[in-house]
């Protein structure tokens, strides 16, 4: 049986079982082998019956003393049996499984595994798993460390264990090592065949850890090698732009403030890339308010001053409009035409913008996904900037890049991540970090409170508004839902209008028409609106220096990074600012998140904690990055292995980048098997 064969070839898998396994993403024999357990139970200990105590789970071997009895009370069907060993006896009971009355035979020995409880002074084990006991026989579900798998309806753990064991037994010879032998030896890894067997049915804790180490190393190594190859290809992409002028002082002078050393350092990285003759692919990461936009503007000016066009793609209409207002004003002073492209524009306005882009009159083009529509034709796009990288999939980024002839690429994110993870998540990009905030940025005092503080909070906001300040209130929903009591933006706005009678309270949410949203934001920018009730549509990039209070209702509904982004909307001016997190949740994880927000304002620390609490899949949205879903590796917990992987992969890549040496033949085949489906025309 080949690893590429359909699972229908595995013994005991009929059409119905095959269909259920397909639902779980298992189609081939290899998928079956790599359907790794989500947890394990240690059933290696056999407890004497006399030592069974209430409220704990036990595995034990006992003989059925009498024929089981069936008692029917209304809808409840209760099967009860007395079992015993040399130390004592105990009752076992099952609910609504009447067939068990005839399945268990008196005088026979069985494995049992279940939780003991005390009812009416009598000890019993409720709904235990069971199977016939064979002295010295091998059991997949008892007397050992057993795997626990994610399931779908109609499949049991017992059945799945049996099918996976069958698959392992029938494919032992097919499981081969794709890692070169010298790497396996140097890293002191077990062979892959042993790893697959021991990850499913570990003989000991040590065997499990060694198996997992090998499989995690494999998964991360294949990914890192592919990313190094892709980066190598991208690095070799030549760029024929004619860059004669690298003086960016006109734009840095026009900004009206001095760039930080960190911003200057990142701009030097960008200059080197742009003048290297090769295509730039650079990620600029920095905390909220660190000045990424200023760096992007300076980079844009560098290309525009040499006669080329630049496109900046933002994730929301609100942010695109804000970028257009601020960058447009700045570039107007320098004689540079800026246009905006977003949904909801009037046809005449949009047609004019498209014509200016096509003719090359518009040098700075700012917009949302509208920038990558077929109707947009650039004259000479030389730099594609993506703001808030995690909001866009790889495909969207590639589409924007395809609008020019090998344009330079600059992506920005306010979700700072450790460099080790950056090499995986942004493997095709060089990484620059703005690791300091501009001088004068105020620390934002953050408080976590429950809803009993509302009246005090409103009084505090009223006092600050009387001093000329403005406030945000964020809600996780747009309209009230009968099934829950989450604060909803629309209804809450009406409620607050009666609370803040002398103040202008307005609402902003994603379902509003583009011109309505713009009108509300214009009112908030100008100071006409005192309190803005909003959904997370303002999470990214919105800049109103006069806003000094950020209230987040139902704060437990947001991830740490989202809370940090929202908090970053205040503290942008010279006045003291505050963030108030409102939540009645008693959930331990939620409380820990909110406490983290109160303790630190470091984006790096918050990202680390978010990774730890939520896991990398949710945090990064790995599919957004174009990465395959991890089957066993955890990008947060496995950083020590990842560091070893990266060092080994770099050494392997330097020695044999295209994997043409005989020792790397199986490695190359494995990489192509996994990644080639989505990567055509890469020359690998």
Of the listed ranges 252-266, 283-297, 385-399, the one predicted with least confidence:
385-399
Q: Per-residue pLDDT for 227 more than 90?
A: no
Task: Tell me the Ramachandran region of residue 545: left when phi exceeds 0, alpha when psi lies from -120 to 50, beta otherwise.
Answer: alpha
CA distance 58 to 87: 15
Contact 279, 362 (CB under 8 A): no
Strand partners, 119: 122
Residue 146 per-residue DSSP state = E
Of the listed ranges 28-32, 316-320, 342-346, 538-542, the one predicted with least confidence:
538-542
| Residue-range domain boundaries for the chain | 45-143, 250-276+291-413, 444-600
Helix (H, G, I), strand (E, B) or coil at 262: helix
List pLDDT tens digits, range 635-654: 778 888 998 999 999 999 99
Q: Looking at residue 394, what is its pLDDT?
A: 59
Q: Which residue shows structure tokens 């359907």?
A: 35
CA distance 257 to 428: 33
Average pLDDT over residues 451-467: 95
Q: Looking at residue 541, what is its pLDDT?
A: 60
pLDDT band per the 50, 70, 90 thresholds, residue 681: very low
Contact 172, 193 (CB under 8 A): yes
What secondary structure does DSSP assign to 533-593, as a single string? EE-GGGSSS---TTEEEEEETTGGGS-HHHHHHHHTTSS-SSS-EEEEEE-----HHHHHH
Strand partners, 477: 488
Instruction: Give me the sign of the Cα torsion angle 353, 354, 359, 360.
Output: positive
Q: Looking at residue 330, what is its pLDDT?
A: 94
Question: 402 Cβ partners below 8 Å, 6+ apart?
Answer: none
Average pLDDT over residues 414-418: 72
List pLDDT tens digits, range 151-162: 888 888 889 999
Average pLDDT over residues 558-577: 87
pLDDT band per the 50, 70, 90 thresholds, residue 248: very high
List C-alpha distances in Å: 126 to 82, 109, 203, 571.
12, 18, 28, 58
Asked, colleague to colleague, whether 250-276+291-413 and 444-600 share their fold, the answer is yes
Helix (H, G, I), strand (E, B) or coil at 470: strand
CA distance 297 to 307: 15
List pLDDT tens digits, range 12-22: 898 999 999 99
Contact 27, 7 (CB under 8 A): yes
Structure tokens at 117: 């409880």
Average pLDDT over residues 508-513: 83
Q: Looking at residue 405, what is its pLDDT?
A: 79
Q: Per-residue pLDDT for 670 more than 50?
A: yes
Helix pair 603-614, 560-567: axis angle to 10 deg: 150
Of the listed ranges 32-36, 562-566, 594-598, 614-618, the one predicted with least confidence:
614-618
CA distance 277 to 238: 6
pLDDT band per the 50, 70, 90 thresholds, residue 612: confident
What secondary structure does DSSP assign to 318-357, as a single string? HHHHHHHHHHHHHHHHTT--EEEE-TT--HHHHHHHHHHH
pLDDT, mean over the chain: 87
Q: Looking at residue 624, what is its pLDDT?
A: 45
Q: Looking at residue 682, what is its pLDDT?
A: 37
Dihedrals phi, psi of 34, to nearest 5 degrees = -100, 20
Q: Looking at residue 395, what is its pLDDT?
A: 65
Q: How do strand 57-64 and strand 430-434 relate by DSSP bridges?
A: unpaired
Q: Per-residue pLDDT for 436 more than 50?
A: yes
Q: Looking at residue 389, what is its pLDDT?
A: 53
Domain 250-276+291-413 homologous superfamily, CATH: P-loop containing nucleotide triphosphate hydrolases (3.40.50.300)
The CATH number fitting domain 45-143, selected from 1.10.540.10, 2.30.30.90, 2.40.50.140, 2.30.110.10 = 2.40.50.140
- Angle of CA points 473, 507, 449, to nearest 5°: 15
List pLDDT tens digits, range 568-594: 889 888 889 999 999 999 998 889 999
Q: Per-residue pLDDT for 677 more than 60?
A: no
The residue among 33, 315, 319, 300 whose CA lies nearest residue 149 is 33
List pLDDT tens digits, range 192-224: 999 999 999 999 899 999 999 999 999 999 988
Q: Per-residue pLDDT for 537 more than 80?
A: no
Average pLDDT over residues 171-191: 92
Please tell me the class of the 444-600 domain. Answer: alpha beta
Q: Per-residue pLDDT for 29 more than 60?
A: yes
Q: H-helix or E-strand containing 219?
A: helix 205-235
Q: Which residue shows structure tokens 């003291």?
A: 576
Structure tokens at 168: 């392992």
Strand partners, 425: none
pLDDT band per the 50, 70, 90 thresholds, residue 428: low
Give 550 or 73, the one with higher predicted confidence.
Answer: 550
The residue among 615, 536, 534, 549 whose CA lies nearest residue 579 is 549
Q: Looking at residue 621, what is its pLDDT?
A: 46
């Amino acid at each position: 049986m080949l690893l590429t064969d359909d699972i229908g070839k595995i013994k005991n898998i009929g059409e119905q079982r095959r269909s259920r396994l397909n639902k779980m993403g298992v189609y081939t024999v290899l998928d079956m082998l790599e359907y790794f357990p989500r947890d394990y139970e240690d059933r290696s200990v056999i407890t004497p019956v006399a030592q069974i105590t209430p409220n704990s789970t036990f595995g034990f071997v006992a003989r059925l003393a009498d024929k089981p009895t069936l008692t029917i009370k209304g809808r409840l069907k209760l099967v009860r049996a007395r079992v015993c060993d040399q130390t004592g006896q105990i009752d076992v009971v099952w609910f609504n499984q009447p067939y068990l009355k005839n399945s268990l035979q008196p005088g026979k020995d069985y494995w049992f595994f279940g939780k003991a409880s005390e009812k009416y002074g009598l000890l019993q084990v409720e709904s235990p798993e069971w199977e016939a006991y064979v002295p010295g026989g091998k059991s997949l579900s008892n007397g050992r460390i057993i795997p626990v798998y994610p399931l779908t309806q109609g499949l049991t753990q017992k059945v799945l264990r049996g099918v996976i064991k069958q698959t392992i037994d029938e494919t032992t010879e097919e499981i081969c090592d794709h890692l070169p032998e010298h790497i396996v030896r140097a890293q002191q890894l077990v062979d892959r065949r042993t790893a697959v067997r021991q990850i499913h049915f570990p003989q000991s804790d040590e065997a499990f850890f060694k198996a997992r180490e090998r499989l995690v190393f494999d998964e991360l190594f294949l990914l890192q090698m592919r990313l190094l190859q892709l980066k190598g290809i991208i690095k070799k992409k030549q760029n024929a732009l004619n860059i004669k002028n690298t003086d960016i002082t006109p734009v840095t002078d026009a900004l009206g403030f001095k760039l930080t050393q960190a911003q200057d350092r990142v701009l030097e990285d960008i200059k080197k890339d742009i003048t290297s003759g090769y295509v730039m692919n650079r990620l600029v990461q920095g905390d909220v308010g660190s000045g990424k936009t200023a760096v992007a503007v300076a980079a844009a000016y560098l290309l525009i001053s040499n006669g080329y066009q630049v496109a900046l793609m933002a994730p929301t209409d609100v942010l695109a409009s804000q970028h257009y207002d601020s960058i447009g004003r700045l570039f107007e002073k320098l004689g540079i035409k800026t246009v905006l492209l977003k949904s909801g524009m009037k046809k005449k306005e949009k047609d004019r913008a498209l014509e200016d882009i096509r003719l090359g009159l518009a040098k700075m083009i700012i917009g949302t996904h509208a920038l990558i529509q077929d109707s947009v034709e650039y004259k000479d796009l030389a730099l594609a900037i993506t703001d808030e990288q995690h909001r866009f999939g790889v495909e969207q980024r590639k589409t924007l890049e395809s609008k020019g002839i090998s344009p330079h690429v600059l992506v920005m994110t306010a979700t700072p991540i450790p460099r080790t993870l950056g090499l995986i998540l942004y493997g095709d990009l060089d990484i620059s970090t703005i690791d300091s905030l501009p001088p004068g940025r105020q620390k934002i005092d953050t408080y976590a409170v429950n809803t009993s503080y509302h009246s005090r909070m409103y009084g505090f906001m009223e006092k600050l508004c009387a001093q000329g300040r403005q406030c945000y209130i964020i809600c996780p929903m747009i309209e009230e839902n009968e099934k829950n009591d989450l604060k909803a933006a629309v209804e809450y706005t009406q409620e607050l209008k009666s609370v803040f009678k002398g103040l202008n309270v307005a609402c902003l949410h994603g379902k509003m028409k583009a011109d309505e949203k713009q009108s509300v934001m214009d009112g908030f920018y100008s100071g006409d609106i005192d309190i803005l009730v909003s959904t997370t549509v303002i999470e990214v990039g919105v800049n109103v220096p006069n806003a000094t209070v950020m209230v987040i209702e139902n704060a437990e509904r947001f991830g740490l990074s989202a809370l940090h982004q929202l908090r970053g909307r205040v503290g942008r001016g010279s006045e003291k600012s505050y963030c108030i997190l409102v939540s009645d949740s008693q959930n331990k994880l939620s409380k820990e998140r909110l406490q983290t927000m109160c303790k630190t304002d470091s984006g790096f620390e918050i990202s680390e904690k978010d990774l730890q609490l939520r896991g990398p899949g949710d945090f990064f949205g790995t599919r957004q990055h174009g990465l395959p879903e991890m089957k066993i590796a955890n990008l947060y917990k496995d950083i020590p292995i990842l560091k070893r992987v990266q060092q080994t992969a770099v050494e392997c890549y330097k020695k044999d980048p295209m994997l043409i040496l005989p020792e790397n033949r199986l490695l190359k085949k494995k990489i192509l098997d996994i990644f080639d489906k989505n990567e055509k025309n890469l020359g690998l």
